[in-house]
Structure 1
Amino acid sequence: MDFGIAHHLVGEIAVVQVSGWIEIGSAPQMRDTLIGVIDEGHVHVVIDLSEVVFLDSTGLGVIIGLLHRLRTHNGSLALAGATDRVYKVFRTTQLTKVLTITETVADAIAAVNSGAAGAQAP
């Protein structure tokens, strides 16, 4: 499956839809898109992972880098819709303790709106 990334706004929240493989070849495009979202002034971000079939350590690095960047802007980050395979990567690396991961985009938006999404230091 080819990598794809797009974003749209839901109120003040940038919802970034990612599909395909997030790995060493696609991570730079993902990073550049996410940095662009922040540079546009959107510091509350939800990443929809429902169509991601693979995530490697390079992709994890992009997500953690985004979290750190958002923290410096008093922003927030929530992830949504990770498949079992992708969620296992977060669980194995214990990033489930640091990141807000929800089943649906609607739940992730609610977490961001309530201030429960992970941008504040744990």
Structure 2
Amino acid sequence: MRPWSRLLLIVLLTMGSALAFWGAGSSKHDGIAAAQLPTEARQTLALIKQGGPFPYPRDGIVFNNFEKRLPPQARGYYREYTVKTPGRRDRGPRRIVAGKAAEYYYTEDHYASFRRIRE
């Protein structure tokens, strides 16, 4: 094997490991404009900003970021809020996670991926 091909192989393997670690296809850097959110998500965002009242008892609980899909922060930094999903009787998969520095993240697949909300 030639030296340059060894280097290329190492680079490709390293990139593949990094993508697997951070979750390929669910980039935490993808964003969404607040105006592009579903109506229910815009309503939830407005409730968060005004401090409630929230329709679900679990709204406002600590989001622990166990999957490490959001930037690392101390426990208690993130709070989660339900985004109503039409046609669902339960809370459904959609949430907004709010950070203490007034940053907001939207997930429509129950924490498998997040998009930072741009305002």
Query: So what's the TM-score if we normalise by structure 1?
Result: 0.22
* Structure whose residues are more often helix by fraction: 1
TM-score by length of 2: 0.22
Q: Which has the larger radius of gyration?
A: 2
